[in-house]
Amino acid sequence: MKVYLCLLVSYAGGIGNSIRYLSIAPRNNAMKVDQLDNLLCAGEKAGLFVGHTEAIVTGSLAGHNSIRLSLGMPLLELPRSLASGDLIACANEEIQQEEGLKKRYTFAGSDYFKRMKDLGLYITDEEVLKSKIERLKLLNIYGDKLI
């Protein structure tokens, strides 16, 4: 099966580096587009995410899952006990509501940053974070060679 990953890259010759305000592809929390067997998406195409970090988080997961999908492996969903997993799931839930479509989802501030702190997901201690990721058996998950 051929698998496609919807990535949008700005070709602005170094003048700009963002593509903004795209239509949202309905997707699951593994970044697979609904009703299409072989398409994954990331960044603002996957929700009202704002920022490069959010594009990296969703793009890394979508890229990883594109390989899993092509190999017939189960897709990875990041757990909500991690800020990245919670951001992906929370944004997906919120955009189902009219009010949620008026918000932007980012680690850098706004409503999601408050949520992240309230849930204890905002962790700056590297050792605490590493230990948490190890307990979830996700440390270096993107470094595992699947093929």
- The band of 132, judged by pLDDT with boundaries at 50, 70 and 90, is very high
Length of the chain, in residues: 147
Specify the pTM.
Answer: 0.85
Q: What is the mean predicted confidence (pLDDT) over 114-139?
A: 95
Q: Could you give the angle at the alpha carbon of 67 between the alpha carbons of 16 and 137, nearest 5°?
A: 100
CA distances from 123 to 58, 99, 119 (A): 19, 28, 11
* pLDDT exceeds cutoff 90 at 45: no
- Give the chain's mean pLDDT: 85
Q: What is the mean predicted confidence (pLDDT) over 17-32?
A: 79
Distance between CA atoms of 77 and 140, rounded to whole angstroms? 15
CA distances from 140 to 64, 94, 133, 144, 145 (A): 12, 29, 9, 7, 10
